[in-house]
Amino acid sequence: MRDFKELKVWQKAHQLVLNIYKATQYFPADERYGLISQIRRAAASIPTNIAEGCGRQGNRELAHFLSMAAGSSSEIDYQLLLARDLTYLSDVDYREYQAAAAEIRRMLHAFIRKLIPDG
């Protein structure tokens, strides 16, 4: 069992969630149950899966949850692009959050390779 709060990747993912929550509060109200809900859920899924994986037994189980977190980071990529294209998100914010999601995804994949070098 690991303390997820000590993992750099969890810290970065948590910060991304905070940033996305702040940014989406300015999206149109009619997106409350659409894009706002989807992007927030996908963002929160990243550190949530990291935390859940840290509570599991064994490297394979942890790697499984890290893989799910990486999938959510890819989902965020599209949702950020959509938000930018709908002009709900500035290009500057889009680039910042997309870069953060990509860095988190790279970190997750590296962590998985460290846990399961041949798997």
Instruction: Band the pLDDT of 80: cuts 50, 70, 90.
Output: very high
Instruction: Write the pLDDT tens digit of every residue in 5-45.
Output: 999 999 999 999 999 999 999 999 999 999 999 999 999 99
Determine the Cα–Cα distance for residues 85 and 91; give it in Å rounded to an integer.
9
Res. 108: pLDDT tops 70: yes
Determine the Cα–Cα distance for residues 22 and 36; give it in Å rounded to an integer.
11
Q: Where are the domains of the chain?
A: 32-115
Closest by CA position to 77, among listed 103, 53, 58:
103
Q: Which CATH architecture has domain 32-115?
A: Up-down Bundle (1.20)
Closest by CA position to 16, among listed 79, 60, 85, 82:
79
Instruction: Band the pLDDT of 119: cuts 50, 70, 90.
Output: low
Segment 66-88 mean pLDDT: 97
Instruction: Write the pLDDT tens digit of every residue in 40-73.
Output: 999 999 999 999 999 998 999 999 999 999 999 9
The whole model's pTM is what? 0.94
Q: What are the Cα distances from residue 12, in Å, to 82, 102, 116? A: 22, 11, 22
Backbone angles phi, psi at 117, to 5 degrees: -55, -30
Determine the Cα–Cα distance for residues 66 and 86; give it in Å rounded to an integer.
30
pLDDT recorded at residue 44: 98
Residue 29 corresponds to which tokens in the numbers above? 């109200």
The angle subtended at Cα 25 by Cα 102 and Cα 93, nearest 5°, is 35
